[in-house]
């Protein structure tokens, strides 16, 4: 997943990008980058790591100018590489260009193959790089036209920011999969994945970009257009369920309030009569747990404490004391749980291994019953539109019944929110403005075809091989009876 | 403040110390250290920074042996120095010795002066170093006797761990200011500041050390004694209010449940009739806010979101965008707060500047009224027993009325828990088993005399001067009308 | 300047590349990189800095395979950027490809412009990147043919190594500007800029690649061809004068012996009758100083000591003690110099500022006369073929007479080797097998046209602007009377 | 070995200490430190590593004041520890104190034991720490008197600098083992191990401190005294042979000229008739090789090239390509050596392994005969006065004849300078002003008694065990027939 931020018209453009990216850090912790324009040159700094560690004062000083775009990136794909960090920046016939992308293009493998056949060379594994090639090859007279031509060839999810020496261009795909909001800070225009970034820099929220909208900001001011054929909406429902920061306003509604409503709906659909208390898996499960408590009347309490000190660098020591896993991050509050029948609310179950550890931890701390409630439907399908999910066979819900999952995670009962309930909670009863592919398998913008996906995985492994740094994935845990990886 | 951990009788003593210190990281984030004994030699590693960053696998491999002690340290004193990191380790006539100390000795300046007059040299600014000198100078026949003789000379707060080549010794001062618990992990004994460290390594909790108790563990097993004259108890009430981790059992009761009770009592004493919701300043204010909600019937909700990505390294960029302060750490949930009369619960107010920023943030997010409720009495007196508080004149409550503070922090109303209510909530109605000096000014173990304190401050500044690394304190914010520093 | 190394057929290909690059470190200290092939994937690691710091054991372990190429790079251009580090590695229609280049292409700006006009995008400022584009666009059936087609379009200096999943290709331009030698280590073939790299890994020296020769090594073995139109030779004479390591055999003759011969010839042309001793500017001036001593009969001695501890990171402290410059690197031996008439031999004078400091240092140490002798002709023209020289106006010899230079550097006399003498010393009396452009202005492969050069400088500044790290150039020292920058 | 530097009376005292230590870097590369006084406080920075890497501008800015002392340290002892880095700085009854020591105290183990018995605690393994304890325990009225009393108890080699808030004190032991010179830079006094440090900062050389002299510099100016009983001189002859920098003036004579004279004398004593050329093992063997050439008439040439890029961090890769050792540092010049009978001059042979590799390298490069000449007598005895030599059984000359050594190092002939010749060359024909213990076994200031040495070794291992960082020694190479470790 990724977060993007852009600003133009402010003398401290890079400093503000830095703050904005910090506010969007939850959208990607693997790498971060900022490109700034002083009207003549683009200057770039990208690195693996967290925004606050990468952008020190001396680094920011080397990124002068009144316009900048920034990007934070996260990939579970196992291969972390600097070359895939964004914004990408290149030179082409039109001058200098940088691009920051949130989303994923489903036809990137085919497009890449075609471009390569036509002599293009690729330096990253990123799907984003094809867009730059199409812009560079476009014969359109203006940069905006080049962008439109390039994007007319790609399919999938994209919220994009482009920076040239003198223009900042923002585009959102016609489905509106990924969010992108527009704000103002005095004379400057600001673009960000979420409103929380506007709030931090005290910018005024103007509006969300429309799906399919393109905004161009330059010396002539801001102008907007709708250059793409309209289609039905496909706003990512998982942003509301889990991904976005709770204080953001997303697709027009409050993330926090939506999550509480998910919890309320969940309580109605999957009650836990007789339970003594409702707790959350912190922090993401908190709003839904409060909603569940409100709707059910079962008191809310804190049964799990989250450590503030677990970073990506935490290495478990060897041998007998391995496998501390989630225990390093969460600790159970014995006195709250002891002898209690506990409802524990989480936003989703991916592989099931973390849920299993949490349930066991709660029981070890004295809970006599653990009723796991999930504020979304079973996650059964991989996302091809920008969220990093494992393959279908790794998703426990894709090949196990709820009962089997309950047994695996050792919960006394397990209840998921229904797809209908989800739609209702987000105010889309017909479920025709959101993308629910991860729950329903309905892929609005197509999916990567099996052959291409396989080839793509191979390509990705190959090009992933040209990597300076390789993150090591931790091993699976086997579920007896079925071939389920962790 | 500090956290300590010790273990003996386990082949992975250093690995477990590392995990234990990670669990105690909330007690000190400035430096960390582990000393291990393999029966013949002590080996040490100390460094500035967080446990998870300092103790990599190669570092832990160089700390072999079946016994180890560890320490995490935090100091707000403005001067961060490696030489003050613990455990301190020295050689003396009795062999090798390491010491880890949680607490503060009030007569350390006098003792240091006397020792220096007798030819002692000091390499740190730490009060702890005097204990080592007294041990080295003791003519007592055994190490235990040396320790008892040394401690008979010091006054103040100490939970201590000593490691020699073949003994692990734990002592708690007669007042019992700081916690120290004993546990068992198979054949190993474990000592830790809080039970949360036992829980993480799955050690069994045996009991808290008694105030004044000394425990010696060596090849002969564990033996205990009460070598000091008994006195009244003075367990630190601020551990319950703020410092300890909520999942710990402290002084025999649950920290989390105690904090909820503080909130309930606060609701009774300082109600906020007509308020729409109760929110917490996360994470420390959450239990009391839930208690307040339960007792008042006003719904609990989440109005402030805490970022997971604000570390000590976060440097604010210069110039116009300075002073982001608490905004980088907390963001307000507009839709929860908009148009609402909000009760916000925090554990304490120190200088008032953070509270002021939080109240302003809540109002900027739409709260129409902000009623600040504090789950402890006004913090009016500095702690001389181990908690890092600023000097009396920096404590806003020491020279301002509650009304003045309310006006400064721009809250509509401000209510503190009473001292009586605090006692009641922790089950000490008579308030004769806890130390309440920071609220009451009653210093059980004496305080540092003004002259000595002044001299000590000067000494500290001087010796602080022999520093490799100096942390920069951020500037004050002026309160109109009174000379109050931030 | 750059150094390149390649090996195929050895299970420790990356380890040997690391050693080979270490031996070639004198050819470039700014960045280093290795790409390895395991037959299926290329893996790459590039970084700013020295070989020995970059390639730690864990890094080398991530570069498995039996074939590898490596590169060290140095640029005085003021802009140091990771993106310009080599080997460059890309994916294109033909698979994965890495390239390492020593030399410089004079028509790269035009080619780049043309490629951009045809839709190509560039991620580095490197002239080398155009070669990759031409390979990617070639319709030739085999990789070798693609390389030949691509190279038929470029003009200038290139010794190149290409690595694909299963081939190692080496090419030297028809002029033979830059060296490239072939060796064997048991079953492996080795390619390196200089023989010193073969010596370190104990590989057997087979021969230098012929100018215009292309060598392909794959599972079928080694085959060679001469795919380019023949031309006169233009081997870089400055490699012999200064650049190559003295223990290397270059263009068929010993670098060390050649330099001594330069010194002998210099003594004949520019004697210093009455001088007491000959000293060198260490280390590069040592062989010529010994040769001068041998031919003149004036005793050789050591008057300047070179420090081993001056790295690139040495930062001079501020204020009054600035400008230590060459003094941090060289110290004068007072007792050798005191009261003496000294001949000091250096290989060349670029801006004159270093020579000036050295002469002053010698006089401050007691030398009564300083006779500066330069073992090459005046450096009056910039190199367009791979050596980093400043622009023409910065070269002191391009706009000052020898007498003026002598006065500026405060030498009692100054003598350069003649172009004729240089030719004679390297065994090319007709001077038709070497390139002498930096001395003569005769550019064999064309030079960058003034307009293009200007544009290129501008482009370079622009694209240089897209830099993560910018090296700061030190300030000029003014020569009274003429506008000469240091 | 160590180097020390002090300055008082200059506003940039720390910056100059930094430059001075850089000039003395050859005396110790393991750790470096500076302590500065601003008249009220001492501030310190010590770290493992090189001066130029440790003292960045921000670090130096934190060391204000007009007086400073600095130290560079090297230890071959296998255990590198920050706690042993100097200057040591402490607080004691007299205030703040820092100390920098070059030399070694032979009775430190006994003194330490006695101090510990009297209650002293030790935080380092350094012999220097006992001096501080004696100062702290002294009842003398002034600091100077305390220093004299303390030093009256120690035996061995010491050139010392002490810094208090307002005094800089320099002392040299009565034997004058280690050098220490006094200089002036405008109003400031400068003290340094060698004159090369004065030269770098352009300070004027006043004179060497007399053996047994104590110099005190404070607001009253500079005063000198001779507080110790006079004894015969014992200036370290190995400083002239190898340790000091050639451009320094040491014990009144030029190091470089002395080394040349050693070479001349060597040529007279150990001629190599029929040899074609004389080469040096660079850089330390160069002056003696030139002297040898001058006296013998055999031409001097360069047969070995030293790499500038071999730092302490160079890690050899694993497996088959191990054991590159000296090859990474030196390369042979084939064309100089081929077919030649070569005299190679080095300053000393310690274990013999390096000499063996060098001789083999010369033969592999084509030398038909290799005649090894050593410009000092056989090194048969360990130094107890400050130079890091291995134990007696590791010194090849302590238990092998010259013939055996020649055979081991595979030289055709091997010749050492005689002790008489050495004395003559340094102008001490009677050999009663120099310490020659490493060659003669005559220990002027006593040696560490075998029992104490053994105990000390054990202590050292023990306390060495309290180490954060442990340097790994490389493995031995076996000499057939005798149990000689490398």
Do C177 and C235 contact (CB within 8 A), yes or no?
A: yes
B305 closest CB neighbour out of A57, A246, A301: A246
In a 3-state reduction of DSSP, which class is residue C116? Answer: helix
**Is A256 within 8 Å of B51 when comparing Cβ atoms?**
no
Q: Which two tokens stand for residue A65?
A: 């100018």
Q: What is the C-alpha separation between D143 and D54, in angstroms, rounded?
A: 31
B42 closest CB neighbour out of D91, D92, D466: D466
Q: Which two tokens stand for residue D124?
A: 């380092």
Give residue A141's pLDDT band: very low, low, confident or very high (50, 70, 90): very high
pLDDT at C435 over 50: yes
- β-pairing, D369-374 vs C304-306, is unpaired
Round the average pLDDT of chain C to a whole number and report it: 89
Give me the mean pLDDT over the B369-373 stretch.
Answer: 98
Q: What is the C-alpha separation between C9 and C219, in angstroms, rounded?
A: 9
**Is C335 within 8 Å of D249 when comparing Cβ atoms?**
yes
Which residues does residue C161 pair with via DSSP β-bridges, in sequence order?
C100, C170
Which chain C residue lies closest to D13 (C-alpha atoms)?
Answer: C321
Do D102 and D4 contact (CB within 8 A), yes or no?
A: yes
Region of poorest pLDDT, from C50-64, C208-222, C468-482, D91-105: C468-482
- Which residues neighbour C326 within 8 Å (Cβ) at sequence distance 6 or greater? C354, C357, C358, C361
The pair phi, psi for residue B314, each rounded to 5°, is: -65, 115
Enzyme catalytic residues of B: 2
Which chain D residue lies closest to C254 (C-alpha atoms)?
Answer: D335
**Is B119 within 8 Å of D136 when comparing Cβ atoms?**
yes
Name the one residue in this structure whose structure tokens are 């690195």: A47
Give me the mean pLDDT over the C393-398 stretch.
Answer: 95
Enzyme catalytic residues of C: 2
Give residue B56's pLDDT band: very low, low, confident or very high (50, 70, 90): confident
* Nearest in space to A316 (alpha carbons), one of D47, B362, C94, B19: B19
Round the average pLDDT of chain A to a whole number and report it: 89
Q: Which two tokens stand for residue A89?
A: 């920046």
Give me the mean pLDDT over the C31-48 stretch.
Answer: 95
Q: Which two tokens stand for residue B362?
A: 């809540």
Chain D residues within 8 Å of chain B (Cβ atoms): 35, 40-47, 62, 89-93, 96, 113, 116-117, 119-123, 132-133, 136-138, 461-463, 465-468, 470
Chain C residues within 8 Å of chain A (Cβ atoms): 35, 40-47, 62, 89-93, 96, 113, 116-123, 132-133, 136-138, 461-463, 465-470
**Is D52 within 8 Å of C25 when comparing Cβ atoms?**
no
Annotated binding residue at C383? yes
**Tens digit of each residue's pLDDT (9 = 90 or more) over A198-252:** 999 999 999 999 999 999 999 999 999 999 999 999 999 999 999 999 999 999 9
pLDDT at D19: 94
Contacts of D164 in chain B (CB under 8 A): none
In a 3-state reduction of DSSP, which class is residue B373? Answer: strand
C466 closest CB neighbour out of A43, A113, A136: A43
Q: How far is CA A150 from each of CA A86, A127, B347, rounded to the nearest angstrom?
A: 19, 13, 56
Q: Which two tokens stand for residue A240?
A: 């509301």
Q: What is the C-alpha separation between B32 and C298, in angstroms, rounded?
A: 65
Whether omega for the bond prior to residue A283 falls within 30 degrees of 0, making it cis, is: yes
* Nearest in space to A33 (alpha carbons), one of A46, A18, A20, A24: A46
Which run of H or of E encompasses D224? strand D221-225
Identify from C256, C258, C299, C364 which residue to disrupt to test chain D contact, counting D C-beta atoms within 10 A and taking the largest count.
C256
For residue D211, what is the DSSP state? T
Judged on CB neighbours under 10 Å (0-12, 13-18, 19+), C81 is buried
pLDDT at C449: 59
pLDDT at C444 over 60: yes
The alpha carbon of residue A456 is apart from the nearest alpha carbon of chain B, in Å, by 33
**Tens digit of each residue's pLDDT (9 = 90 or more) over C301-348:** 999 999 888 754 444 444 444 467 788 899 999 999 999 999 999 999
D136 closest CB neighbour out of B42, B113, B120: B120
- β-pairing, B277-280 vs B341-346, is parallel
Q: Which two tokens stand for residue A130?
A: 């094809």
Contacts of C309 in chain D (CB under 8 A): 22, 25-26, 29, 50-52
pLDDT at A277: 97
Q: What is the C-alpha separation between A309 and B55, in angstroms, rounded?
A: 14
Give me the mean pLDDT over the B453-479 stretch.
Answer: 35
Q: What is the C-alpha separation between B433 and D354, in angstroms, rounded?
A: 72
Which chain A residue lies closest to C124 (C-alpha atoms)?
Answer: A90
pLDDT at C127: 92
For residue D82, what is the DSSP state? G
The alpha carbon of residue D205 is apart from the nearest alpha carbon of chain C, in Å, by 12
Round the average pLDDT of chain B to a whole number and report it: 89
**Is A123 within 8 Å of C90 when comparing Cβ atoms?**
yes
Name the percent of chain B in helix, strand, coil, to the closest 5: 30, 25, 45
Give me the mean pLDDT over the C269-273 stretch.
Answer: 97
> To 10 degrees, the CA torsion angle through A416, A418, A419, A420?
-160
Identify from A466, A470, A471 which residue to disrupt to test chain C contact, counting C C-beta atoms within 10 A and taking the largest count.
A466
Question: D129-137 and D143-151 are packed helices; what angle lies between their axes, rounded to 10 degrees?
Answer: 130
Give me the mean pLDDT over the C178-205 stretch.
Answer: 97
For residue A417, what is the DSSP state? P
Give residue C221's pLDDT band: very low, low, confident or very high (50, 70, 90): very high
Annotated binding residue at D347? yes
- Strand-by-strand arrangement of the A42-48 sheet: A42-48, A31-37, A67-73, A2-8, A188-192, A181-185, A204-208
pLDDT at D78: 36
Do D26 and C310 contact (CB within 8 A), yes or no?
A: no
Residues of chain D with pLDDT under 50: 76-79, 312-322, 454-486
Q: What is the C-alpha separation between A2 and A71, in angstroms, rounded?
A: 7
pLDDT at A318 over 60: no
Euclidean distance between the first and final Cα of chain A, in Å? Answer: 20
Structural domains of chain A in order of their starting residue, each with its CATH number:
2-231 (3.60.20.10), 249-310+324-441 (3.40.50.2020)
Q: How far is CA D38 from each of CA A216, B87, B462, D95, D96, rounded to the nearest angstrom?
A: 58, 31, 11, 14, 12
Question: D402-409 and D353-364 are packed helices; what angle lies between their axes, rounded to 10 degrees?
Answer: 50
The alpha carbon of residue A400 is apart from the nearest alpha carbon of chain B, in Å, by 31
Q: A406-441 burial string, b = 16+ CB within 10 Å, else e?
A: bebbbbbbbbbbbbebbbbbbebeebebbbbbbbee
The pair phi, psi for residue C228, each rounded to 5°, is: -110, 155
B256 closest CB neighbour out of A56, A290, A302: A302
Region of poorest pLDDT, from A72-86, B4-18, B362-376: A72-86
* Nearest in space to B43 (alpha carbons), one of D461, A186, D242, D362: D461
Quote the radius of gyration of chain A (alpha carbons, Å): 23
The pair phi, psi for residue A48, each rounded to 5°, is: -70, 145
pLDDT at C326: 83
Name the one residue in this structure whose structure tokens are 């050390």: B209
* HEC sequence for A155-224: CEEEEEEEEECCCEEEEECCCCCCCCEEEEECCEEEEECCHHHHHHCCCEEEEECCCCCEEEEECCEEEE
Q: Which two tokens stand for residue C483?
A: 């506008």
Indicate whether this model's pTM tops 0.90.
Answer: no
Euclidean distance between the first and final Cα of chain C, in Å? Answer: 21
Q: Which two tokens stand for residue A90?
A: 């290149």
**Tens digit of each residue's pLDDT (9 = 90 or more) over C111-120:** 999 999 999 9
Q: What is the C-alpha separation between D451 and D454, in angstroms, rounded?
A: 5
Region of poorest pLDDT, from A318-332, B272-286, C5-19: A318-332
pLDDT at C328: 86
Q: Which two tokens stand for residue D232?
A: 């015969």
Give me the mean pLDDT over the A462-479 stretch.
Answer: 31
CB atoms within 10 A of CB C449: 14
Do D72 and D24 contact (CB within 8 A), yes or no?
A: yes
> To 10 degrees, the CA torsion angle through D144, D146, D152, D155?
-90
Which residues does residue A90 pair with via DSSP β-bridges, in sequence order?
A97
What percent of chain C clears pLDDT 70, i.e. is strictly above it? Answer: 88
**Is C121 within 8 Å of A463 when comparing Cβ atoms?**
no
Identify from B119, B132, B165 which residue to disrupt to test chain D contact, counting D C-beta atoms within 10 A and taking the largest count.
B119
Contacts of D331 in chain C (CB under 8 A): 23, 196, 199-200, 245, 247
Which chain D residue lies closest to C285 (C-alpha atoms)?
Answer: D302
pLDDT at B486: 29
Residue D89 φ/ψ region, left for φ over 0, alpha for ψ in the -120 to 50 degree band, beta for the rest: beta
pLDDT at B316: 45
CB atoms within 10 A of CB D431: 18
pLDDT at D323: 61
Give me the mean pLDDT over the B438-462 stretch.
Answer: 66
Q: What is the C-alpha separation between C169 and C159, in angstroms, rounded?
A: 11
ipTM value for the complex: 0.89
**Is D468 within 8 Å of B45 when comparing Cβ atoms?**
yes
pLDDT at B350: 94
pLDDT at A422 over 50: yes
∠ CA B135-B137-B140, rounded to 5°: 70
The pair phi, psi for residue D315, each rounded to 5°, is: -110, 125
């Amino acid at each position: 997943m990724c977060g993007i931020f852009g600003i133009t018209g402010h003398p401290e453009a890079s400093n503000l990008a830095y703050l904005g990216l910090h506010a969007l850090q939850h959208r990607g912790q693997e790498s971060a980058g900022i490109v700034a324009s002083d009207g003549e040159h683009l200057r770039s700094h990208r690195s693996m790591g967290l925004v606050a560690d990468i952008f020190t004062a001396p680094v920011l000083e080397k990124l002068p100018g009144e316009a900048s775009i920034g990007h934070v990136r996260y990939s579970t794909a196992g291969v972390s590489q600097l070359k895939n960090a964004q914004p990408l920046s290149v030179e082409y016939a039109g001058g200098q260009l940088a691009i920051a992308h949130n989303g994923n293009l489903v036809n990137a493998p085919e497009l890449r193959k075609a471009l390569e056949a036509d002599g293009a060379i690729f330096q990253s594994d990123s799907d984003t790089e094809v867009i730059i090639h199409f812009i560079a090859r476009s014969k359109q007279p203006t940069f905006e036209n080049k962008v439109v031509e390039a994007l007319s060839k790609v399919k999938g999810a994209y919220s994009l920011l482009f920076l040239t020496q003198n223009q900042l261009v923002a585009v959102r795909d016609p489905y509106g999969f990924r969010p992108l909001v527009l704000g103002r800070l005095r004379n400057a225009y600001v673009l960000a994945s979420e409103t929380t970034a506007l709030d931090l820099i005290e910018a005024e929220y103007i509006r969300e970009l429309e799906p399919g909208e393109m905004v161009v900001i330059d010396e002539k001011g801001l102008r907007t257009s709708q250059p793409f054929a309209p289609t039905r909406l496909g706003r990512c429902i998982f942003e509301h369920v889990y991904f976005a920061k709770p204080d953001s306003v997303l697709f027009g509604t409050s993330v926090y309030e939506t999550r509480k409503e998910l919890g309320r709906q969940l309580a109605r659909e999957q009650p836990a009569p007789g339970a003594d208390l409702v707790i959350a898996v912190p922090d993401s499960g908190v709003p839904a747990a409060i909603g569940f408590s409100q709707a059910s009347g079962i008191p809310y309490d804190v049964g799990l404490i989250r450590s503030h000190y677990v970073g990506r660098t935490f290495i478990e020591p060897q041998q007998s004391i391995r496998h501390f896993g989630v225990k390093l991050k969460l600790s159970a509050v014995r006195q709250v749980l002891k002898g209690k029948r506990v409802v524990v609310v989480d936003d989703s179950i991916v592989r099931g291994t973390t849920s299993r550890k949490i349930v066991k931890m709660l029981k070890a701390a004295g809970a006599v019953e653990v009723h796991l409630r999930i504020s979304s439907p079973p996650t059964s399908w991989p996302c091809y539109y920008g969220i990093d999910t494992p393959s279908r066979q790794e998703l426990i819900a894709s090949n196990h019944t709820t009962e089997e999952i309950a047994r695996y995670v050792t919960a006394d009962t397990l209840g998921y929110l229904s797809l209908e309930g989800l739609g209702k909670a987000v105010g889309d009863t017909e479920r025709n403005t959101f993308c629910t592919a991860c729950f329903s398998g309905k892929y609005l913008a197509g999916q990567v075809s099996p052959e291409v996906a396989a080839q793509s995985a191979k390509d990705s492994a190959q090009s992933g091989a040209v990597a300076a740094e390789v993150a090591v994935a931790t091993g699976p845990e086997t579920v007896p009876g079925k071939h389920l990886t962790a």
